[in-house]
Structure 1
Amino acid sequence: MKLKNLSLLIMVLLVADQALKIWVKTHMHLDEAIIVFPDWFQLRFIENKGAAYGMHIATSGAFDWGKLLLGIFRIALSCLVGWLIWRLTKRKDTPKGVLVGLALILAGAIGNIIDSAFYGLIFSESTPYTVAHFGGHYAGLMMGKVVDMFYFPLFQWNSCPRFLHFLVDSNNYFFGAIFNLADVYISVAAVYLLVFQYKFISK
């Protein structure tokens, strides 16, 4: 698979991710939910300062060093994956699935980097009662919040054991994480590569 085709794929994935995030950011109030399919699929607008699926590195003090370190890690990961894609396109034995999987991971990482790096500079801050607009400023470079919107409250697990509480949200819905397209890219690609391309990766 040619590098040009992979670059085009990454660009298409990035545009889709950013278009959805910008629409949500500029058309929905923070914490607002749109019911797509009753009882199991919502578009629910939240923002988080951390990693995929709303996770966050807790830090003390006025400056969020955890968020900065996370941003640096994402950039380093993106550079590594980009270099790996470039190297693997030169090998004739590289399966197309491996290259597509890595392209998904790179698109997902860059998608969330864009949120963190620039959203604080170009958007006003979202609140539960206002919709953000372009031209605002609520945080510095690398300090923006990541926009999430996919929520699947499939069923409640009211008796969830304490050590498994990370699997439920505040309303005890199983897998209550709210996530975005970039998270989907990374998760789907990681599972695919580990399950279906394990032999090639292990080499």
Structure 2
Amino acid sequence: MRYYILALIVIIFDQATKWMIVYSMDLHDQIELIPGFLFFTSHRNSGAAWGILEGQMWLFYIVTVIVIAGIVYYMNQMKDESPFLLMGFGLVLGGAIGNFIDRIFLQEVIDFIDVIIFGYDFPIFNIADAALSVGVVLLIIMILIDEWNNKGVNSDE
């Protein structure tokens, strides 16, 4: 249950920050938070990361519903597994739903976190995107650890 609460916290934080951006900044306005590194930039995206598949909302609807259903299924099946695995699922679930809300009601996603890393202007993202990314990294790490542990067990035979 606590990992569904984590997902809910991500959704609330994501939607609240997007609401603050929409109501306090005009589209393309920018606020510098850390000089030369971190900005809030009001941006909209009708595609996926880096604008991939722009305008293909029907595809995002289908994929998101499948992802959400799969995550809920696995969270219920693996409720006694590692807390890090379930935390990864909770973060991915919250991020997926956060961006899904935008796509349903706005037909685009509100992005605003703008980072420049070593001169590279990273694509603008939001809290849902960050939760998705961290959640996927956690899931990958936990899968790799599980594989490593299973190979260690199987190699002793």
Runs of 4+ in structure 1 displaced over 2 angstroms? 199-203
In the alignment, residue 192 of structure 1 is paired with which amino acid? L
More divergent stretch after superposition (12-21 vs 190-199): 190-199
In the alignment, residue 112 of structure 1 is paired with which amino acid? N
Question: Residues 137-176 of structure 1: CA distance to partner in whole angstroms, max 9, x if unpaired?
Answer: xxxxxxx1100011112333xxxxxxxxxxxxxxxxx152
Match of 1:101 in 2: 88
2:128 matched to 1:182? Answer: yes
Map 1:186-201 onto structure 2 (within 5 A): 186-200=132-146
Q: Can you give the 5+ residue segments of structure 1 that lack an aligned partner in the other structure?
A: 59-63, 121-143, 157-173
In the alignment, residue 99 of structure 2 is paired with which amino acid? N
In angstroms, what is the RMSD of aligned CA positions?
1.8
Structure 2 Cα separation of the partners of residues 145 and 201 of structure 1: 38
> Structure 2 vs 1, CA of residues 98 and 44 (structure 1 numbering), >3 Å: closer, same or farther?
same
What TM-score, normalized by structure 1, do the two folds share?
0.68
- Could you tell me how far 1:192 is from its partner in structure 2? 2.2
Match of 1:21 in 2: 18
Q: Are the aligned partners of 2:92 and 2:132 in contact in 1 as well (CA < 8 Å)?
A: yes
Q: Which structure dedicates a bigger proportion of its chain to strand?
A: 2
What TM-score, normalized by structure 2, do the two folds share?
0.87
Q: Which structure dedicates a bigger proportion of its chain to helix?
A: 2
Structure 2 Cα separation of the partners of residues 11 and 33 of structure 1: 28
Match of 1:79 in 2: 69
In the alignment, residue 39 of structure 1 is paired with which amino acid? G
| Seq. identity, % | 26
Structure 1 Cα separation of the partners of residues 75 and 92 of structure 2: 11
Map 1:122-201 onto structure 2 (within 5 A): 144-156=107-119, 174-200=120-146
Q: Are the aligned partners of 2:85 and 2:142 in contact in 1 as well (CA < 8 Å)?
A: no
> Structure 2 vs 1, CA of residues 37 and 55 (structure 1 numbering), >3 Å: closer, same or farther?
same
In the alignment, residue 19 of structure 1 is paired with which amino acid? A
Aligned residues: 149
Q: Can you give the 5+ residue segments of structure 2 that lack an aligned partner in the other structure?
A: 151-157
Match of 2:38 in 1: 41
Q: Are the aligned partners of 1:48 and 1:56 in contact in 2 as well (CA < 8 Å)?
A: no
